[in-house]
Amino acid sequence: MADKKTSPTTRTGKLAAGAANYADDRLGSAGYLKKNLNKIFPDHWSFMLGEVCLYSFVILLLSGTFLTFWFDPSQRDVVYQGAYTPLSGVSMSAAYASTLHLSFDVRGGLLMRQIHHWAALIFMVAIVVHLFRVFFTGAFRKPRETNWLIGIGLLTFGIIEGFLGYSLPDDLLSGTGIRIAEAILQAIPVVGSYLAFFAFGGPFPGTSFIPRVYMVHILLLPALFLALITVHLMMVWYQKHTQFPGPGRKESNVVGYPLMPVYMAKAGGFFFIVFGVTAFLGAVASINPIWLYGPYTPGQISAGSQPDWYMGWLDGLVRMAPPLETHWLGHTISWNILLPSLVLPGLIFVGMTFYPFIEAWISGDHREHHLLDRPRNVPNRTALGAMSIAFMVIALANGGNDIIATHFHLTINGIMWFTRIGLFTVPPIVFIITKRVCLSLQRADRDLVLHGRETGRLVMLPSGEMIEVHEPISDARKWTLTQHQQPEALPAPLPEEALVGWKGKLRKRMNEAHNVQVPAATLSELKELGDSHH
Amino acid sequence: MSTQIERFEDPGLPEHLHRKADTDPKAAKRAEQQVAILFLLSAVGTVGTIASYIWVHPQVYLYIPILGSTNVQQACIGLGLTLATLTIGLGAIQWAKKLMPDVEQVQERHEFRSSDKDRDDLTKTVENRVEETGIARRPLIKRTLGLALGLVGLSPLVLLRDLGPMPGKYLDTTDWTAGTRLMLDPANTPIRPEDLEVGAVAQVLPELPAGTERTLENIGKDAVLLIRLRPEDFNLDPERLSWTYNGIIAFSKICTHMGCAVALYEQQTHHLLCPCHQSTFDVTRAAKVIFGPAARPLPQLAITVDANGYLVAKQPFTVPIGPSFWERNSKNG
Ligand code: HEM
Ligand code: FES
């Protein structure tokens, strides 16, 4: 077998062999490819979230390129003469007119605009949910911290890219968004008015902003995305995917399906499904009907202005900010703008960025991790994640306070006070509740292993007492529920010398909080129970 | 406590269970047909897309409940595309699930950390190479290189300077001066007090010198709201009262929070509301902020009438209009 050259027998086989050999003669790629076609990918629904990000990005590239063929990024004045008669003869920017043209005169143009916008929303949802998956399962731990950082970068640039995207059509709604962005720039102490004048090429709105934003939206940021996504995926490839714990799954292995054919078929198929879903939304669900808003002019506004959801939490924070401004030596500092739109989001993003390093510092755990945590087994982290979600939901709710007020017959004043107070009180409560829930779930796991599953069948004991029959769970299940790290098994709990001073004390206390756990059931305990049962 | 605590042991990968299609050729055949049907549907979808593109009339709208008025051609193209792509995806996944091997496989990982020796060698090599450059021994080179690299980044920053002009006093001023006539927007005609009934609101802009065209930049700082109340509704100090004319009061329409147009006027309460973040201003009290994140009242424009009975500005705005900025001198509120 060793030296015999096998020649392919089927037509496909011959074609593949031809291509592979051609490449191998020039790149020596056969060995590498052979190994990688066998690469194993673990399977879990939550691992598809990252794929959704990737595929919706590809959809954005395709649909966005289509839009560029008609979209005219210019703020030059034109008089509209197109198929949408309600705006006939209205003077407007070429950007707005060309977006109308795309929507009403280009066959499939409206569809592509809607696909592009839906794909942007799906892209952002997928990034956020993917990020939470990575967070709650501890996938960001060593050796994957770099990919966490890249992910935070993608999230940040995604928010900016989306905002710049819906600023392009220059309708009344998006112009209002740009006006607000200008006010944020202008509010930055010392350099604010300069930044605003440089960004807009003079006073707001000017005629330079949309052409500039366009360049950033279709070239600069997409190139950056492409670079970051490439590195992100190369790291996943090289480091191999994490996997959930279970029978046969160890820190030292990967269990799953090979790249070729199963994973390729599933992932490739999944791309088409994401495309299909986005196309469906684009076909039936109207989004950003810019013709209803009219062209932008600073003297008007459309009631109930709402940004896309990924900006909504910022809008909510801005809406609930106290009317605070400092007047000092002939200068004005607008805390009502700076705090909610720059300081607070800045702190949140810095916290997110450094979280993997903070957690490692607290836990003192610097080993490699390839098995994921079940969220309940790390109550502190899970509670922190739940708390952040609560914070965002409250901020987002206030971003839609006008809509909530009219739908539920509440006053905006009431919602504002509720969210102002809630922003600081609800997240800590959510933290405490989540932590407790995690610990009870751990206790439930323990009971399940030791006492088995409730069957709902009742039997009467000779003494007349009724008991419910419990059925032992499988060995596989027992393993899954007890395999996780026990605190006493941590290799190097924090060294004494690291715990001096206020920093050391803080670290020690956080370490203790981090390690709170219900001890996992052990075989010894189960045996003991078995002995005492009958 | 007796002996060592025994923990549960990993029972290893569960035994592989065969799918129906693995053992039953009929089931396999059925799966094959399902996949083929899905792929065929995709072809139908593409044909439908092309047919809609060519034959459906581009300007036909249909009212569909919930979705509202929908362009039929766009929807048909989109649904064709949906069918064409979704079924490729479903087919491929069905194929992978039912017919491709489903035996889980195991691959070993290797720790990323290299051997101590490799790591030491690398450190030494790097040290040696750095040593060879002599940078440690030649502080002059080190410092001048630091200076050069530190400065080279300045050039692009300086080159960006021409992105826009300096703000100068632009943000402090508007086109309103003493005697500027108030022009109705968008008609661009002067307005008399009698043209405005009690309870009415109008947007006005300053009359620009003949031959100057009004730009969006002008509107962005000049837009003013006129509101007519009954004079007894006002609750103003004498100076501000003298800025009104027969119950007509004028405010900058540009929100002092972040610059949106403060467009919603509630007649009963005499409140002006900015839809962006709901800052609410009390018209009777010189647009004092009564709710929301805005920190300052809307600047009031002093108005009167000229010899021909048209409304004119008595004087420019006394404070900068719109959102705050660093150079804004807030002595006067
Ligand atoms: C992560 C990437 C991207 C996001 C989140 C994004 C988001 C958006 C959004 C929300 C809009 C507004 C659409 C509307 O309602 O009209 C937009 C417009 C636009 N985008 Fe993108 N986009 C992305 C990438 C791209 C790329 C790669 C291109 C081109 C190569 C592109 C080209 C355009 C064009 C030309 C418009 C304006 C046309 C119009 O609004 O009808 N985008 N983008
Ligand atoms: S811009 Fe008016 S309230 Fe924010």
Residue A304 pLDDT > 70: no
Residues B197 and B128 in one domain: no
Q: Which amino acid would we find at residue A226?
A: L
Residues B200 and B73 in one domain: no
Q: Is A82 on the interface with B (CB under 8 A)?
A: no
Residues of A with CB below 8 A from B172's CB?
Answer: none
Residues B37 and B139 in one domain: yes
- Ligand 2 binding pocket (C-beta < 6 A) is B 255, 257-260, 274, 276-277, 279, 292-294
With cut-offs at 50, 70 and 90, classify the pLDDT of residue A492: low
Examine residue B11 and state whether it is found in any structural domain, yes or no.
no
DSSP state letters, B145-163: HHHHHHHHTHHHHHHGGGG
Q: What pLDDT is attached to residue A532?
A: 60
Q: What pLDDT is attached to residue A35?
A: 86
Residue B2 pLDDT > 50: no
Number of domains comprising chain B: 2
Q: Which amino acid would we find at residue A468?
A: E
CATH number of the domain enclosing B289: 2.102.10.10
Lowest mean per-residue pLDDT among A28-32, A168-172, A230-234, B93-97: A28-32
Among B4, B188, B272, B324, pick the best mutation site for testing chain A contact (most A Cβ within 10 A).
B324
Q: What pLDDT is attached to residue A499?
A: 76
With cut-offs at 50, 70 and 90, classify the pLDDT of residue A459: confident
- Straight-line distance from the first to the last Cα atom of chain A, in angstroms, rounded to the nearest whole number: 61
Residues of A with CB below 8 A from B81's CB?
Answer: 111, 276, 279, 283
Q: What pLDDT is attached to residue A491?
A: 52
Residue A10 pLDDT > 80: yes
Residue B330 pLDDT > 80: no
The crossing angle, in degrees rounded to 10, of helices A145-167 and A172-187 is: 120
Examine residue B325 and state whether it is found in any structural domain, yes or no.
no
Residues B24 and B143 in one domain: yes
pLDDT per residue as tens digits for the range A413-432: 899 999 999 999 999 999 99
**C-alpha A325 to ligand 2 mean position (Å):** 14
8 A C-beta contact, residue A231 and residue A150: yes
Examine residue B322 and state whether it is found in any structural domain, yes or no.
no
Give residues with Cβ within 8 angstroms of B113, minimum separation 6.
Answer: A368
| ipTM at complex level | 0.93
Residues B232 and B131 in one domain: no
Q: Determine the Cα–Cα distance for residues B40 and B56; give it in Å rounded to an integer.
A: 23
Q: Is B68 on the interface with A (CB under 8 A)?
A: yes
Residue B213 pLDDT > 70: yes
Q: Determine the Cα–Cα distance for residues B62 and B69; give it in Å rounded to an integer.
A: 6
With cut-offs at 50, 70 and 90, classify the pLDDT of residue A533: low
Residue A488 pLDDT > 90: no
* Ligand showing the shortest atom-to-Cα distance for residue B261: 2
Examine residue B13 and state whether it is found in any structural domain, yes or no.
no
Q: What pLDDT is attached to residue A305?
A: 67
Instruction: Using alpha carbons, list the distances in angstroms from residue B23 to A58, A320, B15, B99, B134.
Output: 39, 64, 16, 11, 72
With cut-offs at 50, 70 and 90, classify the pLDDT of residue A493: low
Q: What pLDDT is attached to residue A503?
A: 87
Residue having the nearest C-alpha atom to atom 1 of ligand 2: B258
Question: Parallel, antiparallel, or unpaired for β B61-64 and B264-266?
Answer: unpaired
Residue having the nearest C-alpha atom to atom 17 of ligand 1: A165
Chain B residue with CA closest to A368: the answer is B111
Residues B94 and B177 in one domain: no
Q: Determine the Cα–Cα distance for residues A481 and B188; give it in Å rounded to an integer.
A: 76
Residues of A with CB below 8 A from B327's CB?
Answer: 193, 330-331
Mean pLDDT of chain B: 93
Residues B260 and B296 in one domain: yes
Residue B331 pLDDT > 60: no
Q: What pLDDT is attached to residue A360?
A: 93
Lowest mean per-residue pLDDT among A450-454, B92-96, B177-181: A450-454
Residue A530 pLDDT > 80: no
Residue appearing with tokens 């031809």: A18
Residue A249 pLDDT > 90: yes
Q: What pLDDT is attached to residue A4?
A: 55
Q: Determine the Cα–Cα distance for residues B263 and B276; give it in Å rounded to an integer.
A: 10
Name the token pair of A510. 């956080």
**C-alpha B273 to ligand 2 mean position (Å):** 9
Residues B230 and B287 in one domain: yes
Q: Determine the Cα–Cα distance for residues A351 and A384; give it in Å rounded to an integer.
A: 12
Mean of the pLDDT values across residues B181-199?
94
Q: Can you give the pTM of this predicted structure?
A: 0.94
Give residues with Cβ within 8 angstroms of A126, minimum separation 6.
Answer: A49, A50, A52, A53, A56
Examine residue B6 and state whether it is found in any structural domain, yes or no.
no
Examine residue B7 and state whether it is found in any structural domain, yes or no.
no
Examine residue B158 and state whether it is found in any structural domain, yes or no.
yes
Q: Is B216 on the interface with A (CB under 8 A)?
A: yes
Q: What pLDDT is attached to residue B1?
A: 43
8 A C-beta contact, residue A138 and residue A132: no
Residue B333 pLDDT > 70: no
Mean of the pLDDT values across residues B109-114?
90
* DSSP for residue B162: G
Q: What percent of chain B has pLDDT over 90?
A: 84
Mean of the pLDDT values across residues A316-342?
93
Examine residue B2 and state whether it is found in any structural domain, yes or no.
no
Q: Determine the Cα–Cα distance for residues B231 and B252; give it in Å rounded to an integer.
A: 20
Nearest to A168 by CA among A126, A216, A203, A238: A216
| Ligand 1 pocket test target in A54, A61, A67 with most atoms within 8 Å of CB | A67
Q: Is B239 on the interface with A (CB under 8 A)?
A: no
Q: Which amino acid would we find at residue B52?
A: S
Name the token pair of B101. 């091997």
Q: Which amino acid would we find at residue A31?
A: G
Q: Quick count: other Cβ atoms within 10 Å of Cβ A223?
A: 10
HSE-up of residue A171 (Cα within 13 Å, Cβ side): 18
Domain membership of residue B182 as a residue range: 170-313
Q: Determine the Cα–Cα distance for residues A114 and A99; give it in Å rounded to an integer.
A: 12
Q: How many cross-chain Cβ pairs, A to B, lie less than 8 Å apart?
A: 333
Name the token pair of A393. 């939901």
Residues B155 and B174 in one domain: no
Residues B196 and B157 in one domain: no
Q: Is B185 on the interface with A (CB under 8 A)?
A: yes
Residue B327 pLDDT > 90: yes
Task: Look at residue A344 and give its three-state secondary structure.
Answer: helix
8 A C-beta contact, residue A255 and residue B106: yes
Residue appearing with tokens 């001096």: A500
8 A C-beta contact, residue A177 and residue A164: no
Nearest atom of ligand 2 to the alpha carbon of B293: 3
Q: Do B8 and A143 touch (CB under 8 A)?
A: no
Domains in chain A with CATH codes: 2-37 (no CATH), 40-246+253-373 (1.20.810.10), 433-532 (no CATH)
Question: Parallel, antiparallel, or unpaired for β B300-301 and B303-305?
Answer: unpaired
Q: Determine the Cα–Cα distance for residues B198 and B228; give it in Å rounded to an integer.
A: 5
* Chain centre to alpha carbon of residue B124: 52
Among A84, A114, A176, A284, pick the best mutation site for testing chain B contact (most B Cβ within 10 A).
A284
Q: Do A337 and B325 touch (CB under 8 A)?
A: no
Q: What pLDDT is attached to residue A1?
A: 39
How far does A509 lie from chain B, in Å, by closest CA?
28
| Ligand 2 pocket test target in B273, B274, B280, B324 with most atoms within 8 Å of CB | B274
Task: Look at residue A352 and give its three-state secondary structure.
Answer: helix
8 A C-beta contact, residue A117 and residue A162: no
Where is the domain boundary, B145, B163, B181? B163
Residue A504 pLDDT > 90: no
Nearest to A53 by CA among A220, A236, A217: A236
With cut-offs at 50, 70 and 90, classify the pLDDT of residue B284: very high
Residue A495 pLDDT > 80: no
* E runs forming strands in A292-386: 325-328, 331-334
**C-alpha B254 to ligand 2 mean position (Å):** 9
* E runs forming strands in A80-130: 91-93
Q: Do B5 and A524 touch (CB under 8 A)?
A: yes
Name the token pair of B211. 């031959």
Which residue among B111, B260, B327 sits closest to A368, beta carbon to beta carbon?
B111
Rg of chain A, C-alpha, whole Å: 29
**C-alpha A181 to ligand 2 mean position (Å):** 12
Residue A298 pLDDT > 90: yes
**C-alpha A91 to ligand 2 mean position (Å):** 26
Which residue among B97, B164, B205 sits closest to A201, beta carbon to beta carbon?
B164
| Ligand 2 pocket test target in B251, B253, B255 with most atoms within 8 Å of CB | B255
pLDDT per residue as tens digits for the range A151-177: 999 999 999 999 999 999 999 999 999
Residues B189 and B60 in one domain: no
* Ligand showing the shortest atom-to-Cα distance for residue B279: 2
Q: What share of chain B is helix, strand, coil (3-state, %, to 5)?
A: 40, 15, 45
Residues B24 and B150 in one domain: yes
Mean pLDDT of chain A: 92
Vertex B274: Cα angle to B271 and B278 (nearest 5): 90
Residue A487 pLDDT > 80: no
